[in-house]
C-alpha cells in the first residue's frame, strides 16, 4: 500500500485519465492516483512519458531491459511488473523480459543485452560505477546517438523507480492479469 493515500481523479481531466488508463492497462494505477494530489506533477509525468516514447535512436527492447534492470535493482515492483506487461503488449521477447531480474545467471541474453543491463545497474549504483570499457563497448555496438538516448532513458528510469519506491507504490500484478509466467527472481549473492 502506498505511503501517500490515493486521490480521487476528478473533473474532465480525471475522467479522461481514467478512460485512457483503463483502455491501455485495464485500470488506473495507484501511482497515478497518488500523483493526482499534485496536478503539475501528473502533467509533468505524462508529458515526460510521451516524450520518452518518441525516442527512436536506441532499440526498444534494449531500453525495456534497461528499465527493468533498474527497477529490479532499486526494488520497484510496480515498474518491473509494468515493464514485463508492456513487453508482452509491445510484442517484445517476454521470455527474456521475464528473466531480467536474474539476467546475470540467465543464458537467454546476448552480449549486447548483458552490457545494456550492466550499464543500467552501473548507472543506478550510488555512486555510479560505469567504466570506460563498458561505455566503449556500448559506443561501438550502438553508436553515439543511441548511447546518449540509452543513458538518458536509464537516468529517467532511475527517477521513476526511485520515486515510486519512496512513495510505496507496489506491483499491481499486470503481468499476472494477462497470463504471463511470474517474473524470475534473482539468486541470492
> Minimum mean pLDDT among 43-52, 56-65, 124-133, 170-179: which range?
170-179
- Tell whether 30 and 92 lie within a shared domain: no
Provide the residue range defining the domain that includes 156.
56-189
Query: Do both 157 and 188 map to the same domain?
Result: yes
- The predicted-structure confidence for 44-103, as pLDDT tens digits, reads as follows 999 999 999 999 999 999 999 999 999 999 999 999 999 988 998 899 999 999 999 999
Which three-class secondary structure string do you get for the chain? CCCCCCCCCCHHHHHHHHHHHHHHHCCCCHHHHHHCCCHHHHHHHHHHHHHHHCCCCCCHHHHHHHHHHHHHHHCCHHHHHHHHHHHHHCCCCHHHHHHHHHCCCCCCCCHHHHHHHHHHHHHHCCCCCCCHHHHHHHHHHHCHHHHHHHHHHHHHHHHHHHHHHHCCCCCCCHHHHCCCCCCCCCCCC
- Asked if residue 77 and residue 140 are part of one domain, the reply reads yes
Amino acid at each position: 500500500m502506498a505511503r501517500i493515500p490515493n486521490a480521487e481523479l476528478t473533473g474532465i481531466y480525471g475522467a479522461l485519465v481514467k478512460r485512457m488508463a483503463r483502455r491501455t492497462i485495464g485500470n488506473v494505477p495507484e501511482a497515478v492516483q497518488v500523483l493526482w494530489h499534485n496536478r503539475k506533477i501528473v502533467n509533468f509525468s505524462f508529458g515526460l512519458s510521451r516524450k520518452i516514447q518518441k525516442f527512436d535512436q536506441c532499440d526498444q527492447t534494449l531500453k525495456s531491459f534497461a528499465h527493468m534492470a533498474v527497477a529490479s535493482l532499486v526494488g520497484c515492483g510496480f515498474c518491473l511488473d509494468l515493464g514485463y506487461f508492456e513487453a508482452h503488449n509491445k510484442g517484445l521477447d517476454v521470455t527474456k523480459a521475464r528473466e531480467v531480474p536474474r539476467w546475470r545467471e540467465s543464458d537467454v541474453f546476448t552480449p549486447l543485452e548483458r552490457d545494456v543491463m550492466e550499464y543500467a545497474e552501473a548507472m543506478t549504483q550510488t555512486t555510479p560505477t560505469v567504466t570506460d570499457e563498458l561505455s566503449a563497448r556500448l559506443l561501438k555496438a550502438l553508436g553515439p546517438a543511441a548511447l546518449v538516448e540509452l543513458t538518458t532513458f536509464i537516468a529517467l528510469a532511475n527517477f521513476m523507480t526511485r520515486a515510486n519506491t519512496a512513495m510505496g507504490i507496489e506491483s499491481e500484478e499486470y503481468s499476472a492479469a494477462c497470463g504471463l509466467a511470474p517474473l524470475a527472481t534473482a539468486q541470492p549473492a
